[in-house]
């Protein structure tokens, strides 16, 4: 039977967790974008392989199930990792330049949306 473990999402919490893992461990986590970068970075630093999967992949690979809590999600991610572990690829932390490009591209997308909203607002309500 698997125990449920809560790991603090900070440097000390993650480092403590990673050092407690057996050498043969493979982590499977849900892709969360920038929120998961610390985990991926530390896994790479501690030589712990980590595979990221999208929430969509995880949900649809295990069939339709009800319930949505952190504990249920963690259990489903674990089940996904156990079932498809032989097909998962380790995630490597992106180089600084690549992260900067991704961030700039994300920011550009936000600015394009804002610009579109401003122009739409101007057409609907012109200044007097």
List the domain boundaries for the chain: 1-93, 95-128
Quickly state the pLDDT bin for 126 (edges 50, 70, 90).
low
- Nearest CA to 50 out of 2, 18, 15, 74 is that of 18
Residue 83's alpha-carbon distances to 9, 24, 26, 28, 79, in angstroms, are: 26, 16, 13, 11, 6
Q: Name the pTM for this structure.
A: 0.67
- On whether the 1-93 domain is CATH 3.40.50, my answer is yes
Render pLDDT for 80-122 as a digit per residue (tens, 0 to 9).
999 998 888 888 887 777 778 888 888 999 999 999 998 887 7
Residue 65 has pLDDT above 80, yes or no: no
Strand partners, 29: 52
């Amino acid at each position: 039977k698997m125990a449920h473990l809560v790991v603090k999402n900070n440097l000390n919490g993650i480092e403590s967790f990673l050092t407690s893992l057996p050498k043969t461990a493979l982590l499977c986590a849900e892709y969360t974008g920038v929120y998961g970068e610390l985990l991926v970075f530390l896994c790479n630093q501690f030589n712990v392989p980590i595979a990221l999967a999208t929430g969509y992949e995880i949900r649809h690979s295990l069939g339709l199930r009800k319930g949505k809590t952190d504990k249920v999600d963690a259990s489903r991610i674990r089940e996904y990792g156990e079932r498809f572990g032989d097909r998962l690829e380790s995630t490597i932390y992106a180089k600084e330049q690549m992260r900067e490009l991704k961030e700039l591209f994300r920011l550009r997308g936000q600015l394009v949306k804002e610009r579109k909203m401003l122009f739409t607002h101007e057409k609907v309500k012109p200044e007097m």
